[in-house]
């Protein structure tokens, strides 16, 4: 599979039919030439997932992600969705550890590691998110922060398990703010992350792992970001809700 990925995170947006329509339009617009450049993932709200899975069925380069996952198989966890449920639906990916989950729902690295493990147990590939706050960047602690998130969130896996993990670096200060890390800033952190993977799992794992940039990715900056040697694509927020913008980002490869 092509290492490059463009993943859309719809967050808490779109009515039911709007989500279905967006998925169907993307499924009809994208073709083999696009998927030769990058795999595409649609991260939809739970209510959209059945219809989105149906819309992309049979299209090899187009996949579906849940935006969260619970760490237990089943039980009295009102409002939660399990990996087993997502597997039964045909959902192939799950976004885990997005900064908004960390910030608003208090999700810790330790909790996220259990979620990553549970996703993998059911054959669901985690898109594991990490990144620093503006204060942490200004304090010069970006590298220690993301190293800890990486170590505590996924380095407890074995090499085979890690081979199914996608890493998304998303500087918190650039998410939904309109600010974007410069290509130089983003590349610097991605290079560091790849180096950490090499130290822990070896050079082959570091070469094969997909590292995404997230944080106000738009058509006007995608090409420059994706041209960086250690950036393999993007985790796209608001622009993934607009067909023309999302297609332009995918095609910027």
Q: Which residues are catalytic?
A: 98, 170
- Token readout for 98 is 């997005």
DSSP symbol at 173 = G
> DSSP assignment of 45-90, as one string?
-GGGHHHHHHHHTT-TTEEEEES---SSSSSS-TT---HHHHHHHT
Residue spans of beta strands (DSSP E) within the chain: 5-9, 39-43, 62-66, 93-96, 125-130, 166-169, 210-214, 233-236
Reported as half-sphere exposure (CB side, CA atoms, 13 A), residue 172 has a value of: 20
**Quick check: 235 and 226 in contact, CB under 8 A?**
no
């Amino acid at each position: 599979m092509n290492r490059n990925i463009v993943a859309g995170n719809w967050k808490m947006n779109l009515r039911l039919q709007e989500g279905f329509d967006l998925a169907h339009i993307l499924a009809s617009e994208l073709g083999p030439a696009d998927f030769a450049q990058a795999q595409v993932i649609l991260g939809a709200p739970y209510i959209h997932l059945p219809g989105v899975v149906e819309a992309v069925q049979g299209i090899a380069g187009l996949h579906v992600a849940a935006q969260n996952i619970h760490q237990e198989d089943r039980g009295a966890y009102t409002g939660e969705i399990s990996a087993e449920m997502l597997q039964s639906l045909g959902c192939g990916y799950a976004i885990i550890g997005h900064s908004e989950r960390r910030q608003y729902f208090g999700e810790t690295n330790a909790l996220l590691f259990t979620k990553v493990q549970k996703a993998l147990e059911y054959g669901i590939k985690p898109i594991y998110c990490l990144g620093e706050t503006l204060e942490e960047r200004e304090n010069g602690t970006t590298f220690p922060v993301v190293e800890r998130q990486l170590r505590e969130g996924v380095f407890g896996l074995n090499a085979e398990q890690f081979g199914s993990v996608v890493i998304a670096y998303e500087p918190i200060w650039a998410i939904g703010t309109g600010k974007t890390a410069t290509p130089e800033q983003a590349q610097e952190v991605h290079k560091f992350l790849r180096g950490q993977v090499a130290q822990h799992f070896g050079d082959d794992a570091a070469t094969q792992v997909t590292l995404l940039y997230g944080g106000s990715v738009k058509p006007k900056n995608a090409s420059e970001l994706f041209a960086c040697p250690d950036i393999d694509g993007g985790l796209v927020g608001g622009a993934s809700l607009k067909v023309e913008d999302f297609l332009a980002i995918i095609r910027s490869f």
